[in-house]
């Protein structure tokens, strides 16, 4: 290991850490070893081909940003991939490949550099040549439909086919984090581009829009800025809640909005909450949103979660047993991003440890993620605590046995699972040996009654709650 390489890599790490979630950093960047620095080329060692592909696929922009910071714009990256761990005699084989994409400038996230280079010149407007800043991997094909997103998806599809013409203008997609807003609106943009409708589609985050606006003021190019946006055919603006409280930016957006809307251009927006809850946005802007359609995305139900996992695995070419898929779908019910995060960690762990993805691996990955990131109570921790407290085993809790000394702890565990986790009754039943939801309801009622009448039960529940905190 070269000292210079280590120093440069440490500088890269600073940037990477700031840009991605902790869990991703641990999975994808901690195992990297900086090997050498040759002029402006940094060589890093990664544990496998899969790893290399994953980094190139998902973190190329972050890496570019890091290289810019650590080495400068000419900085290059080379990967040294460990192909085979080998035994004592045959040393691990490494293959060196230059990065394929980091040589180009990182477009979507790099707002400032982007602005400095092109202050919105649009002399010859050729809509198909202009960069839309869309990520082509987000399509309708890989967006799983379910009750949770049916309205948004079908309105989105209608808009994608006839932008600016339907009554869904503006189209506002709202919902909590990780539920697919960005995916859906990008799918609309990609569909329009791919069906060769001669329209200039532009995707921009509200944050980027704001930064561009501020820069335009600073460099006295506000007119160029507004002109640029007024020529867009389909404007997709993500996370509009970010404009809250930014009066001047809103004012400019309002003008752009009116201009586009009047000329029959399509506007698509997303927000993390319903328009009526968007505090800090001017009323005149909010009232414009009502002209079109607002559709919300909700948390996917069990069947949709299963379908999403299956689709994701299929696209990765990874096979895992249905029991594992079911386990994941029953255990993660917050949002799709989290679901994907777990699948990725699972694949990484399996790739690093060279083993298959099975229930045991899924459990351990899930436990780490949940404990590390969310500090949430999991079904596993409930079962462990209860088993420990009553001196029974987890297998007992999940077993079919109706012995009194098992039924009672099992009911307490179900009761605590309902209270301490976000799991549905059906999912709780699943985690207790596949019992149905009415059994879980019965358990919860029994224990609630007991807490009212029986000091022992009350004491047990209190103590267990304290343990689980």
Q: Which residues bind ligand ADP (CB under 6 A)?
A: 142-144, 149, 175, 177-183, 308, 336-337, 340
- Helical packing angle, 3-19 and 60-70, nearest 10°: 130
229 CB-side CA count, 13 A = 27
Task: Name the residue whose CB lies closest to ligand ADP.
Answer: 180
- 176-215 footprint of Mg ion as x/- string (CB under 5 A): -----xx---------------------------------
Nearer to ligand ADP, 256 or 342 (CB): 342
Question: Which of Mg ion, ligand ADP, none interacts with 149 (beta carbon under 5 to 8 A by kind)?
Answer: ligand ADP
Nearer to ligand ADP, 54 or 408 (CB): 54
What residues form DSSP beta bridges with 266? 234
**Minimal distance, residue 336 CB to ligand ADP, in Å:** 3
**Minimal distance, residue 54 CB to Mg ion, in Å:** 21
Nearer to ligand ADP, 151 or 467 (CB): 151
**Minimal distance, residue 138 CB to ligand ADP, in Å:** 6
**Minimal distance, residue 23 CB to ligand ADP, in Å:** 15
**By CB under 5 A, is residue 132 in contact with Mg ion?**
no
Confirm if 153 and 143 have CB atoms less than 8 A apart: yes
Nearer to ligand ADP, 114 or 338 (CB): 338
Confirm if 114 and 202 have CB atoms less than 8 A apart: no
Question: Which of Mg ion, ligand ADP, none interacts with 180 (beta carbon under 5 to 8 A by kind)?
Answer: ligand ADP
**Minimal distance, residue 343 CB to ligand ADP, in Å:** 10
- Determine phi and psi for 357, rounding to 5 degrees: -85, 110
Confirm if 20 and 55 have CB atoms less than 8 A apart: no
Handedness of CA 365, 371, 374, 378 (dihedral sign): positive
Angle at 76 between CA 61 and CA 44, to 5 degrees: 85
DSSP string of 334-353, one letter each residue: S-HHHHHHHHHHHHHHHHHH
Nearer to ligand ADP, 156 or 178 (CB): 178
Nearer to ligand ADP, 336 or 450 (CB): 336
Task: Name the residue whose CB lies closest to Mg ion.
Answer: 182
**Minimal distance, residue 182 CB to ligand ADP, in Å:** 3
Question: Which of ligand ADP, Mg ion, none interacts with 144 (beta carbon under 5 to 8 A by kind)?
Answer: ligand ADP
List of long-range contacts for 106-111, beta carbons under 8 Å, 24+ apart: 106/60, 106/61, 106/64, 106/65, 107/61, 107/131, 107/133, 108/61, 108/133, 108/135, 109/61, 109/62, 109/65, 110/61, 110/64, 110/65, 111/207, 111/208, 111/211, 111/212
198 CB-side CA count, 13 A = 2
**Minimal distance, residue 427 CB to Mg ion, in Å:** 26
d(CA 245, CA 21): 27
**Minimal distance, residue 87 CB to Mg ion, in Å:** 47
Burial-class residue 108 by CB neighbours within 10 Å (0-12, 13-18, 19+).
middle
Question: Which of ligand ADP, Mg ion, none interacts with 306 (beta carbon under 5 to 8 A by kind)?
Answer: none
**By CB under 5 A, is residue 331 in contact with Mg ion?**
no
- Chain contacts with Mg ion (rule: CB under 5 A): 181-182
């Amino acid at each position: 290991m070269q000292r210079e390489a280590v120093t440069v890599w440490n500088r890269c790490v600073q940037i990477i850490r700031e840009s991605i979630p902790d869990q991703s950093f641990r999975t994808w960047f901690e195992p990297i070893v900086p090997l050498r620095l040759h002029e402006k080329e940094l060589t890093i060692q990664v544990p496998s081909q899969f790893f290399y592909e994953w980094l190139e696929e998902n973190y190329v922009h972050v890496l570019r940003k890091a290289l810019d910071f650590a080495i400068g714009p000419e900085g290059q990256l080379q990967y040294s991939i460990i192909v085979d761990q080998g035994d004592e005699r045959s040393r691990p084989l490494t293959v060196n490949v230059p990065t394929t994409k980091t040589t180009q400038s990182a477009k979507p996230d790099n707002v400032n550099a982007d602005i400095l280079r092109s202050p919105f010149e649009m002399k010859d407007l050729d809509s198909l040549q202009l960069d839309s800043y869309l990520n082509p991997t987000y399509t309708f094909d890989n967006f799983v439909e379910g009750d949770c997103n049916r309205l948004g998806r079908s309105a989105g599809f209608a808009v994608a086919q006839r932008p600016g013409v339907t009554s869904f203008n503006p189209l506002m997609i709202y919902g909590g984090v990780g539920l697919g807003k960005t995916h859906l609106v990008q799918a609309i943009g990609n569909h329009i581009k791919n069906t060769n409708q001669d329209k200039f589609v532009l995707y921009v985050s509200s944050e980027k829009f704001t930064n561009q606006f501020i820069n335009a003021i600073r460099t006295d190019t506000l007119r160029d800025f507004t002109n640029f946006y007024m020529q867009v055919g389909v404007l997709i603006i993500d996370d509009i809640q970010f404009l809250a409280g930014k009066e001047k930016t809103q004012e400019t957006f309002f003008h752009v909005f009116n201009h586009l809307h009047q000329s029959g251009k399509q506007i698509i927006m997303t927000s993390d909450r319903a328009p009526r809850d968007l505090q800090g946005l001017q009323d005149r802007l909010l009232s414009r949103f009502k002209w079109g359609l607002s559709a919300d995305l909700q948390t996917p139900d069990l069947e949709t979660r299963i379908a999403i996992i299956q689709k994701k695995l299929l696209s990765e070419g990874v096979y895992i047993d249905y029991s594992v898929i079911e386990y994941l779908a029953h255990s993660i019910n917050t949002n799709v991003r989290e679901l994907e995060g777990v699948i990725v960690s699972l694949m990484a762990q399996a790739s690093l440890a060279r083993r298959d993805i099975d229930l045991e691996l899924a459990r351990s990955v899930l436990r780490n993620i949940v404990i590390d990131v969310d500090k949430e109570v999991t079904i596993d921790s409930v079962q462990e605590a209860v088993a420990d407290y009553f001196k029974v085993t987890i297998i007992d809790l999940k077993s079919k046995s109706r012995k009194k000394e098992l039924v009672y702890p099992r009911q307490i565990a179900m009761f605590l699972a309902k209270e301490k986790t976000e799991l549905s009754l059906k999912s709780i039943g699943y985690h207790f040996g596949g019992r149905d939801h009415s059994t879980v309801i019965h358990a919860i009622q029994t224990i609630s009654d007991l807490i009212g009448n029986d000091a022992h039960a009350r004491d047990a529940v209190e103590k267990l709650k304290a343990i689980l905190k």
